[in-house]
Amino acid sequence: MAYTLEDFCADARAALDRDSGPEGRDRVARHLEKLLVDPDFVAAHLGPDKPSGAETVHVDETHGFRVMAHTNRGPSNNTPHCHGPSWVVYGMAMNHVEMTEWRRVDDGAREGHAELVVDRKYVLNEGEAHVYNEGVIHSLDRPLETRLVRVCGCDLDRTLRYRYDPAKNAVRVLEPRTA
Ligand SMILES: [Fe+2]
């Protein structure tokens, strides 16, 4: 049976109504897994002709979560980062991503300095979604082209983000893009 973007948003809203913490977000991830394999949703928002980039396909008025469709037409990776005050769910609609979660081991007392160690590494496969709660440091390695859906707790362009360089034990705070 078809599972539409509207179905997902209604289910996500209901899950967060019951519990806006980690448990509710886990339920959001399970609902997202149904959307990731819906051929009509994928064709409409993550089709083969989409250019690389991100598109916000829904903004929830009650909880403020956002659903974003991401197309990466070639391999790509990024450095460890966290989304500050926002939780994020990543879900794979095409191919897989090699995920690394990092743990910060310094006390945060020195500005610009951060020491990270790898906490866990795993593959997020097509059709799977995973929750990253506030402050969880993660990096993505996409050896193939990918399509993914990201659900964010709030507008990431309006929140501080932290980008880490483990080789240099450095951290940089990225200011919001807009006020
Ligand atoms: Fe991220």
| pLDDT tens digits along 66-123 | 999 999 999 988 899 999 889 999 999 999 999 999 999 999 999 999 999 999 999 9
CA of 1 to the centre of ligand 1 (A): 31
| pLDDT tens digits along 15-27 | 999 999 999 999 9
CA of 82 to the centre of ligand 1 (A): 6
pLDDT of residue 178: 55
Name the band, by pLDDT with cuts 50, 70 and 90, for residue 61.
Answer: very high
Name the band, by pLDDT with cuts 50, 70 and 90, for residue 161.
Answer: confident
CA of 150 to the centre of ligand 1 (A): 9
CA of 13 to the centre of ligand 1 (A): 22
Q: Is the pLDDT of residue 64 over 60?
A: yes
CA of 156 to the centre of ligand 1 (A): 10
Taken as a whole, the chain contains a residue count of 179
CA of 110 to the centre of ligand 1 (A): 24
Q: Is the pLDDT of residue 177 over 80?
A: no
In whole angstroms, give the CA distance from residue 98 to residue 67. 21
pLDDT of residue 93: 98
Pairing, β 137-142 against β 66-72: unpaired
Domain regions of the chain by residue span: 5-174
Cα angle at 161 between 68 and 100, to 5 degrees? 75
Q: Which residues pair with 132 in a beta bridge?
A: 88
Q: Determine the CATH number of domain 5-174.
A: 2.60.120.10
pLDDT of residue 179: 45
| pLDDT tens digits along 131-149 | 999 999 999 999 999 999 9
pLDDT of residue 55: 95
In whole angstroms, give the CA distance from residue 1 to residue 12. 18
CA of 162 to the centre of ligand 1 (A): 10
